Structure 1
Amino acid sequence: MTQPPHGKKWSALDRDLHRISYLEAGTQYVSRPMVGLGIALAFIVLAGGLAGVAFGNDPSVMIIIAAAAFGAYMAINIGANDVANNMGPAVGANALTMGGAILIAAIFESAGALLAGGDVVSTISKGIIDPSGMESSRVFIWAMMAALISAALWVNLATWIGAPVSTTHSVVGGVMGAGIAAAGFGAVDWPTMSKIAASWVISPVLGGAIAAMFLAFIKAQIVYQDDKIAAARKWVPVLLGIMAAAFASYLALKGLKRVVKIDIQTSLLIGLSFGVITYFVTRPLIRRQSEGLENRNKSLKVLFGIPLVFSAALLSFAHGANDVANAVGPLAAIVHATEFGDIAAKVSIPTWVMVIGALGISFGLFLFGPKLIRMVGEQITKLNPMRAYCVALSAAITVIVASWLGLPVSSTHIAVGGIFGVGFYREWHTERRRRKMAEQRPLPVIPALAPEERRRRKLVRRSHFMTIVAAWVITVPAAAIMSGMIFLVLNSVVN
């Protein structure tokens, strides 16, 4: 009996093995989101369990367990959404890998929250609600619980649709809605709310304008010079000094509140000192790094890569110090009201609450953050190290200017506004150069582009622009409506 050829003998087995491999790959792809959800759920249950152990003898322990669980859920959503604004530009510019960005953000967000986060937080988020308007501490507890749940749900929804939103504004909306449902419209400080509403426009516009201004400076003084390397040796240390000054002032103003209270003038002096030192330190380093580089734009990107990594880390530290406390404010308020039975405008943040916030951010970033990081860094407009550097620098400067003006701003709106500013400036500048070249060297008449082709050649993706702006506009009212409804349900069911 003749044996079949060797190839045909194993062909059927090979096909079956290939089918099994495809099945395994498909199963892993489908199950990957479920693994993330499972880990997140386990962390939420663990946070509630630890709160139950800590307050086991308290008669209201179930309230604290529920609040801790929802606080952990909120922290996970902060990590999934808000942190993308700090890391997105660096990843989009290829200065950091996704894994490196997640690792740096997790470390510096947690360090900022635990080392420099405020000891005291406003229970009513920016003073928009008068706590004395609540008829009892129990009503106040349900209002804060509703605010926490609604803010977390809204940020979760925004992350799912791919829209970076402000978690602080989500909490503000949640507190406002629950406050109105509990004590009426008169409980809201409307002048403060009007300032917050104004920041929806001021934050992204100011961030975008500053980022575009620095990009215009870099193009004029470095990119379009005949000797780009010589121009970079002259101006890059100056730009790094400005960056160091901005971040030193930013961290002194926002990131060191737990250690020492610093006013705007002192923070500017601190920043100036760091800026001058950085200039003289980096000048010889940039000269050494630029030796042997070719006289082209690609070579310039090398000089901005490492500063961009440092800026992303510092932004994460300041975000952890400043924004996490606002997010866990309702949880701290619930713990205080349950433990002491009174309503306070400001309460201390227990260490375990900040630990939940810090760990939750790390889990949320690791499990769900890459989606928003890619969207912010890669899908709004194309970034390189120079453009991403302008975005990071504008974020620090805008926060300082807003603090000087007394305006409540969102780091999310500033960072994303900076990306839009860079993209729209590139569109304007590209069109301006095209027209100038056409005037200098008239070209043959070319048929006008179709509307679809003109839209395709835009440097900022309009679909993302409209989605993000719409999400920003409806964040506060959407969180407020959800919070009011949740409060009414909680108050009617429990009472």
Structure 2
Amino acid sequence: MIFVLLFVVVCFLAYSNGANDNFKGVATLFGSGTTNYSRAINWATLTTFLGSVTAIFLASSLVKNFSGKGLVPDALIQTPEFAVSIALGAGITVFLATKIGMPISTTHSLVGGLFGSGIVAVGSAFNFSLLGSTFIMPLILSPLMATVASMVAYLLFRRLRVFFGVNKQMCICIGQEYVPIVNNLNKVNPVADSITSYKSINIDKEQNCIERYQGAFLGLNAQKLLDVAHFLSAGVVSFARGLNDTPKLVGLLIVINSLSIEWGMVALAFAMAIGGLLNAKKVGETVSKKITPMNHGQGFTANLITGLLVTTASIHGLPVSTTHVSVGSIFGIGSVTKKSDIKVIRNIVLSWILTLPIAALISAIVFSLLSYVF
């Protein structure tokens, strides 16, 4: 019974992870107007799933890390109650954040779950030094690195754009506008009598203006080349997220001896995909639209930096947060353009600060209850 509960709870965590995280890889595609929401989430779902499957071959060290190995005694790791409490603490925390549209870190939630259950289980025997060096430091440093890297990359790309003679081009609508003429005699139910037209110039909000690139790069149309590169970079970010996050979740299933790691990853990959397809929009709006307005080039730069950092971390077994890296990269762009919404950033950072203690508290309560029942 406890093993069935463990599998269900970890799948719930994977579902919540997909709902909160899946769209972050393609947020700049949607935010910059490169594509619509539906196409963006479908691209994210496909590439994230491929990353999850690839994790079977490349990310075994992360499976070991998030099983709790080294943080608590090995005997505790073999108990399903410990894994259930971690997964449920993290899953509830991520699910609640998703409902209010806050992009938090599943990695951070898992660390909180490990900490809460571990403290209740072993007290001072918990390995605090390993927690700091292996988990906490990468989570703190990754958004700072992403912010600086995206700022530097964007300034460099902007210089290259100018050097190759690729210029920004704004569009403004000038032409016939057709409007109905309403019969004002009927005050209760006015009816349009006819249609008239006149020449007009439409001026809209800044974020609704279309900014494109005019010129060529190495003989190729700059705008088309950028759009293709942007889609590829978004795919890289989503692929890297699946590669980095799936092993963290499947590490909680290793106590189920009858379930192989490979099949565990496949099951969680499907759960993540479903969560993203059904519940990603609110968090997606926050990351893509509310942190800072972006054009095509800025979105591409943020995605490129995020993909490079998260993929590198996955290969080296560092449990960085795709959320922290992605938000840091987008904020870096906004810092250069001076268009970041500081209030939104402040709320996101506050949610990050609260993630670990909330997950730790829920996990500690669940572990205490399970220890009493079982």
TM-score, reference length from structure 2? 0.79
Aligned equivalent of 1:7: none
Q: Does 1:425 align with 2:336?
A: yes
Change (3 A) 1:365 1:399: closer
Name which of 199, 220, 231 aligns with 1:289: 220
Change (3 A) 1:303 1:398: same
Q: Which whole-Å CA distance do the structure 1 matches of 2:43 and 2:313 have between them? A: 27
Name which of 63, 72, 76 aligns with 1:130: 72
Aligned equivalent of 2:363: 483
Aligned equivalent of 2:193: none
SS for the counterpart of 1:163 is coil
Q: Which whole-Å CA distance do the structure 1 matches of 2:268 and 2:316 have between them? A: 29
Q: Which whole-Å CA distance do the structure 2 matches of 1:130 and 1:348 have between them? A: 23
SS for the counterpart of 2:285 is helix
Q: Does 1:369 align with 2:280?
A: yes
1:371 CA displacement: 1.6
Superposed counterparts of 1:272-283, under 5 Å: none
Q: Which whole-Å CA distance do the structure 1 matches of 2:110 and 2:255 have between them? A: 14
Change (3 A) 1:354 1:133: closer
Q: Does 1:91 align with 2:30?
A: yes
Q: Is the 8 A contact 2:23 2:284 kept in 1?
A: yes
SS for the counterpart of 1:382 is coil
Aligned equivalent of 1:199: 138
Q: Is the 8 A contact 2:112 2:357 kept in 1?
A: yes
Superposed counterparts of 1:71-86, under 5 Å: 71-86=10-25
Q: Which whole-Å CA distance do the structure 1 matches of 2:44 and 2:22 have between them? A: 7
Change (3 A) 1:183 1:385: same
Aligned equivalent of 1:273: none
Q: Is the 8 A contact 2:150 2:333 kept in 1?
A: yes
Q: Which whole-Å CA distance do the structure 2 matches of 1:403 and 1:321 have between them? A: 7
| 1:52-84 Cα distance to aligned partner (Å, 9 max, x none) | xxxxxxxxxx22221222122111111111122
Aligned equivalent of 1:466: 346
- Which structure: greater strand fraction? 2
The higher relative CO (CA closer than 8 Å, separation ≥ 6) is in: 2
1:196 CA displacement: 2.5
Change (3 A) 1:400 1:370: closer
- Which structure: greater helix fraction? 1
Aligned equivalent of 1:312: 234
Q: Which whole-Å CA distance do the structure 1 matches of 2:8 and 2:316 have between them? A: 37
Q: Does 1:157 align with 2:69?
A: no
SS for the counterpart of 2:33 is coil
Aligned equivalent of 2:266: 355
Q: Which runs of 5+ in 1 are unaligned?
A: 1-61, 232-284, 291-299, 340-346, 428-458
Change (3 A) 1:181 1:84: same
Change (3 A) 1:397 1:314: closer
**302-311 or 110-119: bigger deviation:** 110-119
Q: Is the 8 A contact 1:211 1:418 kept in 2?
A: yes
Name which of 178, 181, 191 aligns with 2:120: 181
Q: Which whole-Å CA distance do the structure 2 matches of 1:230 and 1:193 have between them? A: 47
Q: Is the 8 A contact 1:180 1:188 kept in 2?
A: no
Superposed counterparts of 1:211-360, under 5 Å: 211-223=150-162, 228-229=165-166, 286-290=217-221, 301-330=223-252, 332-336=253-257, 349-351=261-263, 353-360=264-271
| 1:69-111 Cα distance to aligned partner (Å, 9 max, x none) | 2122111111111122211111111222211112112112122
Q: Which whole-Å CA distance do the structure 1 matches of 2:101 and 2:160 have between them? A: 36
Q: Which whole-Å CA distance do the structure 2 matches of 1:197 and 1:479 have between them? A: 15
Q: Is the 8 A contact 2:143 2:329 kept in 1?
A: yes
Aligned positions, number: 324
Q: Which runs of 5+ in 2 are unaligned?
A: 169-215
Q: Larger Rg: 1 or 2?
A: 1
| 1:341-400 Cα distance to aligned partner (Å, 9 max, x none) | xxxxxx95141x222211111111111112212211111100111111111121133346
Q: Is the 8 A contact 1:208 1:418 kept in 2?
A: yes
Change (3 A) 1:322 1:363: same
Code of the residue aligned with 2:245 in structure 1: it is D
SS for the counterpart of 1:94 is coil
Change (3 A) 1:414 1:128: farther
Q: Is the 8 A contact 1:88 1:375 kept in 2?
A: no
Q: Is the 8 A contact 2:55 2:247 kept in 1?
A: no
Q: CA RMSD in A?
A: 2.7
Q: Does 1:107 align with 2:18?
A: no
Code of the residue aligned with 2:324 in structure 1: it is H
SS for the counterpart of 1:117 is helix
Change (3 A) 1:164 1:125: farther
Q: Which whole-Å CA distance do the structure 1 matches of 2:38 and 2:29 have between them? A: 12
TM-score, reference length from structure 1? 0.60
- Percent identity between matched residues is 28
